[in-house]
Structure 1
């Protein structure tokens, strides 16, 4: 027999209810938890929600800095001849005597000069970056599942950022390239789930009206991290690479400790796992005063049924994933969005990490690309509610792929034109990158949202792992078509998988697989 006793008694709210002047006859009772959350958060995007969004999104600053830190710490520094008889600018540094040349600036500016790796193979010098992205792949599988189960969104997010920062700070104690690569691997493991958990937590803090817009806040913070890195690296250009790790990791550790006490857990996750009291408290912190009064009345007089609060999967996550993979529609969605994400990841990270191939300054190159992301965020903000997810993803994939191929075909003969098409391709892929992360959180229900979104993030990371190989192939063959031609063909092919995915614009978030299936 079903227990009809409310989880929250009327006595608990009697004091606040007496002060409310709302006519209860005019208040529509909540019939489900989903309706209660949507109606409580949908009315307005208040100050409390904005503060929570900023506190959570600032973690993306540290995520971006760690993602591109190797551009400066692992770079091969420039050198000059000290003996003009035995040495010239076209000489192979490995065939020269140590006394005939010297590094420009300090000898401990990057790991290459610090450990004398100038003649090491590309496999050795590229090992730290490969280990970092390999750690991201592993961490996505190991940690993401805990965001849907035991840890929840908030704890996983802060554990990931704190662990990433501690591992990055420990990197300064590396004694050789092998220890350094191992610590970069650990850093990648913790870093893997940050961006998806940030997006999932933000999406579940607001109603569907604000869902797409709030994701832009996190993207702007990511861009702040990308923009701040070249400035910090430039100021540190005459100092040890270890100083850069300290400058980036220490603020992240301090922020994680302080911000943890001010960020709320996702109300949806709390309800799904039976933490009703905490969920209602979190919901009240996110709603306006008027909505809190209405929420008190409805909870005291007509609490949704107990069974609405508890996920049937909360105690058996293995059964959940068995059910997930037995059904065709979620598996089809996951494979389709992961294929699309792989193409976006390959092109996005490939163009950021390989733009130096076009002959730009190493500091200005990343700065210019990061600046280009700002208008991409504004475009995403204005189009996200006006355009369908599927049509916009397909359109930007086609534009990015076409411009990338044209840039490769033009080659070095017309440098300005080539750079123009490269920037157009990168701009389009930036918008696609923003939309695909929001899209991924909308395609799956609450019970598997964090895990599914992390799988999509893994596909992006896998594309990032392969992008240095494509860049290296283009550099060795001195042919831009090898690099940008591959980028263009991959994103054109992967973009076609958008056709297989459903539209989610304006559709409420579901909590279970059955609800999502009924929604279509």
Structure 2
């Protein structure tokens, strides 16, 4: 447990040549980092932009198959003139839906496997930066290799590898960027990452349009080559999280990073504070899966993770289900998709202001309840403008709940298990998405089913937030013991 008494240091200022009596209360690593950076400056902003750019390439690979795997109908199989998709090149126009959907299924299967395999490595041996670089490089190299696929089976296998790499990119980027900024800026950093992910999705139609007369292979080359160059930039210009380095006992490396982001006038005091700072490390580098074991070994951590995953499951089912199921509304599908997509970007800006002004729990609870109620209402309203209006309002509320949940999860868990817990939450979102195709298909036969289930699911899952602690304005804990002590004191 950290010492609550202030640290007093009397040091000599190199600039003034006199002794300065300075008194500052630093109880956590989070407070020390905030003292070092003195607010959110342009250096932190540029660093956050570079790290968050990983979401852009993540978003591209997530939906690239919508264009590379698009195909003609069986009736037009004999009229191929350009091999601009795998369907036309390999003569799959009359193949079963299982065959044509195999690459996409393999990609998301890879995402699930990679999420569980990689989640804990950022908390143990690799760290945030190395896992981000490794994950992005695996995804990008696999995508580049995909452009040389000779048949569907090799293509599907490479899509699985690409999904395996992609699984940890968003989480690693988010945790790395938020651990080196002040607490008031976490919401901004989180929204920047999600915003880049949306830009990645929106960039694909433009790239696909420019390459509309070219082979699908060029689409993979044009998206993977910049991502590989980006990995090199990350490796050489981004430093590891000092919080993680401290937890691994690598204090010299952490000190070097803190000196780099600290004003020269503070260097003497920084060394003095670190020498007497009462932090406690939880070295996990010898056990690759110790963070997962910690989450399952401690009852409070396991129950908290289960509640966060329940939130992710309900919000994920609603978020992606609405994007995929607008065709069931009887409204113009192209306009419906466009309207929904246009709501995502403004939700980031609104979420940023809400994260600074509202409590996390009340924000998530309010938006999940409203979203669920609007979705159920949408299910029983006749087709027309009112129905699409309710759907759009419900989707916007879901976007807000999703954005806040990302930051909330980071704040709920200490440094030693933060990446693992956040990855598990994102895996729960993916699990929620797996139910969407079945519900949407059944909704074509039973008109009220799809949006009723979406609404009920997000309402019941949203109630889980009532059983979680509030985190607004708190510093990030570093160890499991510290988190336990903080929770005990807040009760």
* Cα shift readout 1:212-251 (whole Å, capped 9, x = no counterpart): 2221111221121122122222333333222221221111
2:259 aligns with: 284
Alignment of 1:266-415 (within 5 A): 266-287=241-262, 289=263, 292-294=264-266, 296-305=267-276, 308=279, 310-316=281-287, 321-356=292-327, 367-410=338-381, 413-414=383-384
Cα separation, partners in 2 of 1:97 and 1:52, compared to 1, 3 Å: closer
RMSD between superposed Cα atoms in Å: 2.7
Which 10-residue stretch deviates more, 399-408 or 331-340? 399-408
CA contact (8 A) 1:205 1:286 kept: no
For residue 214 of structure 1, give the secondary structure of its aligned residue in structure 2.
helix
TM superposition shift of 1:39: 2.2
CA distance in 1, matches of 2:16, 2:323: 55
Indicate yes or no: 2:400 matched with 1:431: yes
2:70 paired with 1:67: no
Q: Does 1:56 align with 2:56?
A: no
Matches of 1:358 and 1:344, distance apart in 2: 20
Partner of 1:514: 481
Residues 1:130 and 1:422: Cα distance change in structure 2 (over 3 Å): same
Q: Is the 8 A contact 2:49 2:192 kept in 1?
A: yes
Residue 237 of structure 1 aligns to a residue in which SS?
A: coil
Question: CA distance change for structure 1 residues 159 and 314 in 2, over 3 Å: closer, same or farther?
Answer: closer
Contact 2:124–2:289 (CA under 8 A) maintained in structure 1 = no
The Cα shift of 1:387 comes to 1.2
Q: 1:455 aligns with which of 421, 424, 427?
A: 424
Match of 1:83 in 2: none
CA gap of 1:320–1:420, structure 2 versus 1, over 3 A, is: closer
Larger radius of gyration: 1
SS in 1 for 2:478: coil
Does the 8 Å CA contact 1:30/1:304 hold for their aligned counterparts?
no
Give 1:155's match in structure 2, choosing from 104, 126, 130. Answer: 130
Structure 1 residues 247 and 362, CA gap change in structure 2 (3 angstroms): farther
Answering whether residue 232 of structure 2 is matched by residue 257 of structure 1, we say yes
2:89 match? 114
Q: What's 2:435 paired with?
A: 466
Q: Are 2:14 and 1:18 equivalent residues in the alignment?
A: yes
Task: Tell me, in whole angstroms, the C-alpha distance in 1 between the residues paired with 2:436 and 2:18.
Answer: 59
- Structure 1 residues 195 and 21, CA gap change in structure 2 (3 angstroms): farther
Alignment of 1:188 with 2:183, yes or no, is no
Which of 107-116 and 417-426 deviates more?
Answer: 107-116
Q: CA deviation at 1:374?
A: 1.4
| 1:85 aligned residue | none
Question: In the alignment, what sits opposite 1:36?
Answer: 32
Structure 2 distance, partners of 1:350, 1:72, is 20
1:487 is matched with which residue? 454
Pairing of 1:159-178 with structure 2 (within 5 A): 159-178=134-153
Deviations 1:367-393 (A, max 9, x none): 543321111011101101211111111
Which residue does the alignment assign to 2:468? 501
Q: Is the 8 A contact 1:29 1:298 kept in 2?
A: no
CA 1:247–1:374: 2 relative to 1, 3 Å: same
Output one character per residue of 1:53-111: Cα deviation in whole Å (capped at 9) or x when no partner: 0000111101111112222222344x5xxxxxxxxxxxxx4xx6966xx46xx552333
Q: CA deviation at 1:198?
A: 1.1
Q: Aligned residues, how many?
A: 478
Unaligned runs of 5+ in 1: 1-9, 80-92
- Distance of 2:21 and 2:277 partners within structure 1: 23
Structure 2: tracts of 5 or more residues without a match: 1-9
User: Residue 272 of structure 1 contacts residue 314 of structure 1 at CA under 8 Å; is this kept in 2?
Assistant: no
CA distance in structure 2 between the partners assigned to 1:403 and 1:249 by the alignment: 40
Residue 316 of structure 1, CA deviation: 4.4
Change (3 A) 1:311 1:238: same
SS at match of 1:25: strand
Tell me which residue corresponds to 1:227. Answer: 202
Measure, in 1, the Cα distance between the counterparts of 2:27 and 2:323. Answer: 49
Change beyond 3 A, Cα 1:409–1:453: same
Q: Is the 8 A contact 1:220 1:374 kept in 2?
A: yes
CA distance 1:286–1:467, change in 2 (3 Å)? farther
Measure the CA separation in 2 of the matches of 1:322 and 1:98: 53
Q: Partners in 2 of 1:400 and 1:237 — Cα distance?
A: 38
Change in 2 beyond 3 A, CA 1:320/1:162: closer
Question: Mean alpha-carbon deviation: is it higher for 118-127 or for 319-328?
Answer: 319-328
The separation in 1 between residues aligned to 2:388 and 2:213, in whole angstroms, is: 30
Contact 1:171–1:180 (CA under 8 A) maintained in structure 2: yes
1:23 CA displacement? 5.6
Rate the CA distance shift 1:129–1:484 in 2: closer, same or farther, 3 A.
farther
**Aligned partners of 1:135 and 1:186 also within 8 Å:** yes
Contact 1:74–1:111 at 8 Å: present in 2 too? yes
The CA deviation at 1:434 is 1.0
TM-score, length of structure 1 as denominator length: 0.85
